[in-house]
Amino acid sequence: MTVIRAVMLSRPRDYIISSVAATLPHLIHSSAIAACTQSQVPIIYQPSSLRSSSLSPIGSDRRGTLRTIASTAAPISKHFPRPDVVTGAAVYKHTSRRHSVAHSPFSLRPPPQYSTMAMKNTAEDVKIEFNAKGMPFRQLGSSGLRVPVFSLGGWLTLGGTVVGDPVKEIIKIAYENGINMFDTAEAYAKGKSEIEMGRVIKELGLRRTDLIITTKIFWGPRDGPNDKGLSRKHIIEGTRECLQRLQLDYVDVLFAHRYDVTVPMEEVVRAFHWIIEQGYAYYWATSEWSARDLEEAIQIADKYGLHKPVAEQCQHNMLHRERPEKEYAPLYKKYRIGTTVWSALASGLLTGKYNNGVPEGSRFDLNKDFFKNTLQSLTEEEGLAKIEKVKKLTALAEKKLGCSPAHLALAWVAKSPNTSTVILGASKPEQVIDNLKAIEVIPKLTPEVMEEIEGILGNKPDPYLTYGRPPLDAFGRDPIY
Ligand SMILES: NC(=O)c1ccc[n+]([C@@H]2O[C@H](COP(=O)([O-])OP(=O)(O)OC[C@H]3O[C@@H](n4cnc5c(N)ncnc54)[C@H](OP(=O)(O)O)[C@@H]3O)[C@@H](O)[C@H]2O)c1
């Protein structure tokens, strides 16, 4: 107990070097080990046989120098139930505080706690082979990750209004039709969305490497003072709970579901960096952050050599354009930020299903409280104007493109070069199948059709002023040539 405490005090960083005197392993009290295990602080043991003048001296703390010898390896590791305890040639130079974590040789070790809950990935467990079936893939922003143009999310539906076998049917039909990316959040149905998604993925026998699973941190399912927001505490503890609910070792992308004005940006960026270094997530991203906040996060990450956000999960649809089309425009250009778009159908409004009132069993009907303001606005000038636009878009879609307004709305968002993936929402498997027909509509959106759509929408954000200089395209060229 004494020994471990002394070392932890001396290295109040993510990585702690545990040096234990040869004669002391019996002094390592089991409660001290448990404390270290819970604290998730990796403990690195360096046998003294590997110490040489080329290695940094280790084991010094306020109480003096602790010695290490190889023979302590066995008894110590026997005491540690943790998969991430590294014994052997652990060389950790405690150089600059800024860069020590980023350049740690231990950054790729497996996550500490969840290996026993890992979704099995052996050949026998895989029941459905993934077949992209013509689904186009795009790079997720500045990352190397390829995401399908259409993915599927669980907000209000999976684990909410849809539970049990229907969740399985929806995810199965999506997967069988080229959707291998699934989005959820700790907030969705107070964690039930993640639970349902994790269960179904396991039951269907999907190969983990074929899947892209994304979740979001901000609104934890409980109401304690640290159960929400982006403190380091909540980012780390919330993510661990997400993984438990999903029954996964890692998610592919972890989103900061909103910006937290109360937490210093450096704390947020360092916490997401830590999450990635631990292997809990491969990438991190933001959702509905202002361009200013996103840029600050990127600059802090750059300054300290930390992982930066690769994408933004933003609302983008024919009726909601200002932020994704104007505010973020410089970010696409400067940082290659990608977008995972939500509510491309404006919660169903753009399908035309609300043109003549609120159908029974629809989203607005089942979630009356949540959509109180939207329902109110549909009876007023602003909402009625939206319905009028949907009616005109419906006529254009049917007559000119031979598709439904839903296909048109989805294809329109997917066509944007800044869209990485459009996250579909579906309360029934048929909606997934129907919505995927939008892929065929994308090439039909010629400049003439796009112009006609602009004429109906009348809400194109003004471009940034160039003060008389001719605008250039994203590559800095005159768009005509
Ligand atoms: N980051 C964020 O803050 C945030 C916020 C919201 C959503 N999201 C993510 O984005 C995902 C998609 O968002 P969303 O669900 O709002 O998308 P959406 O496409 O705008 O709405 C989906 C809903 O529209 C209806 N619908 C879908 N296809 C239809 C069709 N072909 N015909 C008639 N109705 C149809 C269904 O509702 P009913 O059948 O029930 O009427 C469905 O649940 C979410 O699941 C979530 O993963 C993220």
Domain assignment of residue 297, given as a range = 123-457
* Domain co-membership, 308 together with 236: yes
* Domain co-membership, 326 together with 180: yes
* Domain co-membership, 92 together with 238: no
* Domain co-membership, 351 together with 298: yes
Residue 178 Cβ contacting ligand 1 at under 6 Å? no
* Domain co-membership, 138 together with 281: yes
* Domain co-membership, 50 together with 159: no
Residue 281 Cβ contacting ligand 1 at under 6 Å? no
CA of 117 to the centre of ligand 1 (A): 30
Specify the number of domains making up the chain.
2
Residue 349 Cβ contacting ligand 1 at under 6 Å? no
- DSSP-assigned beta bridge partners for residue 219: 228
Locate all alpha helices (DSSP H) within 80-231, ordered by sequence: 97-100, 165-176, 192-204
pLDDT confidence band for 470 (50 / 70 / 90)? confident
Nearest residue CA, atom 8 of ligand 1?
Answer: 342
pLDDT at 108: 41
Residue 45 annotated among the catalytic residues of the structure: no
Rounded CA-CA distance 174/162 in Å is 15
Tell me the per-residue pLDDT of 52-78, one tens digit each, with 9 for 90 and over: 333 333 343 333 333 332 223 333 334
| pTM of the shown model | 0.79
Both tokens of residue 299? 């600059």
Tell me the per-residue pLDDT of 242-284, one tens digit each, with 9 for 90 and over: 999 999 999 999 999 999 999 999 999 999 999 999 999 999 9
* Domain co-membership, 96 together with 131: no
pLDDT at 471: 82
* Domain co-membership, 331 together with 429: yes
Cβ-count burial of 277 within 10 angstroms (0-12 exposed, 13-18 middle, 19+ buried)? buried
* Domain co-membership, 215 together with 286: yes
- DSSP-assigned beta bridge partners for residue 312: 286, 339
Helix (H, G, I), strand (E, B) or coil at 420: strand
* Domain co-membership, 234 together with 137: yes
Range with lowest mean pLDDT among 32-36, 93-97, 291-295:
93-97
